[in-house]
Amino acid sequence: MVIIKLFTFEYSFFDWEKSGTLEKEIEIYKKLEKEGCTFIFLTYGDIKDKEYEKLFQYSKIIPIYTLIKYKKNKFLRIFQSFYIPFAVKNKLEGVDLIKQNQLQGAWVSIMLKLILGCPLLIRTGYDVYTFSKSMKKNFLKRFLYYLLTQVCLIFSDLYTVTSNSDKNYLINNFYFKKNIKLRRNSVNAVDGKPIKNRKVEIISVGRLEEQKNYKFLLNEMSNLDITLNIYGEGSQRKSLIDYAKYKNTNTVFHGIINNYELNKKLSECVFYIIPSLYEGNPKSLIEAMANGCIVLASDIPNHVEIVDNYKNGFLFKLEKGELRKIFLDLQFLDLDKISENARLSIKNNFSLDKLVNLELKDYKDLIDLK
């Protein structure tokens, strides 16, 4: 079967590599190739993206900006994107299915569906409309995200989300929602070191932005004699570095590393903390648990779906002193058992092989209905 896989608007293979997520992102497609799938990757890249074809056995890459001229102005690029389906349609033969990642750019997929007559699968890692509200975007942006979500629910033949929280929100707040299914993020099983053989340090992973709530974490870690390693980049980097010094924390800001190196770091470290204000289905949390880290996560709905409090990890309220109290109490608990429970819960519910099987079934079901 031949599947068009459209990238999120403005993203390319080069962007995946630059962010350190390339290996993780392509893992599922390489496995699906072995099951008889051939992908045509439609990316928002230039000729450099063609170099990544060597990572696949049969699939090919069509960088959009080898067909149309890249515009420096973002609004012009959005306007220009409505021409993309007509620019690529003659290069798309024998297509069985269209898959879109995230809603940004989904209008391109919808137009291709109408032109080619193929079923459309849309996968979202988070709900863009609820994120826009949490980020306090202006009314017009929130309305456009709401409208885009509704249009995608109408035109997609299958719409998948990564959390029950997102699924329930869509069911309760939108129309035409019979085609929504839960398809969680996934990771490969990992054999990490026993807790007693690891560094007694903390890792936290994420963009250095308000959503990730690092200022709260630094407050809670103030004057504690333990190293906090933060991996990620963002607009708050300088202010967070200054704040970490002000709060007398032993914090190291490492920037971005590739996914292989990140998993190696996770397997060598005892603790992982994620203090986010809101999330989708955070891959770094799942990876930390797969590596047997002792995870502490803010008790937001999307974390509660993953972390079973005091069984495979710990949940804390986003209130002063709550994280600090739990963290200091960990020395009295059986952390080896918590670590093993974390591994097993990810292996049983978030394995990559499980997602591959579900993804393949979704493809076949949609194509059979064609």
* 103-137 pLDDT, tens digit each: 999 999 999 999 999 999 999 999 999 999 999 89
Specify the pLDDT at position 306.
97
Taking Cα atoms as reference points, which of 148, 250, 260 lies closest to residue 199? 250
Does the structure show a pLDDT above 90 at 257? yes
The domain limits of the chain are 2-186+351-368, 195-349
Sorted by sequence, the CB contacts under 8 Å of residue 197 that are 6+ apart come out as none
Does the structure show a pLDDT above 70 at 67? yes
Class of 195-349 per CATH? alpha beta
**What is the pLDDT averaged over residues 94-102?**
96
Which residue spans within 284-342 are E strands per DSSP? 294-298, 314-316
Specify the pLDDT at position 324.
94
Taking domain 2-186+351-368, whether its CATH number is 2.40.50.140 is answered by no
Does the structure show a pLDDT above 70 at 165? yes
**CA pair distance 282, 279, nearest whole angstrom:** 6
Q: Are 228 and 221 within 8 A, CB to CB?
A: yes
Each as own residue / partner, the long-range contacts of residues 317-321 (CB below 8 Å, 24 or more positions apart, any chain) are 318/213, 318/216, 318/275, 318/277, 320/219, 321/220
R_g of the chain, CA atoms, integer Å: 21
Specify the pLDDT at position 193.
79
**CA pair distance 253, 240, nearest whole angstrom:** 9
Specify the pLDDT at position 109.
98
Name the strand (E) or helix (H) holding 228.
strand 227-231
**What is the pLDDT averaged over residues 71-83?**
95
- Judged by average pLDDT, the poorest of 160-164, 306-310, 331-335 is 331-335
Q: What percent of the chain has pLDDT over 70?
A: 99
Torsion angle of the four alpha carbons 353, 357, 363, 367, in this order, in degrees rounded to the nearest 10: 150
Sorted by sequence, the CB contacts under 8 Å of residue 254 that are 6+ apart come out as 229, 230, 231
Does the structure show a pLDDT above 70 at 157? yes
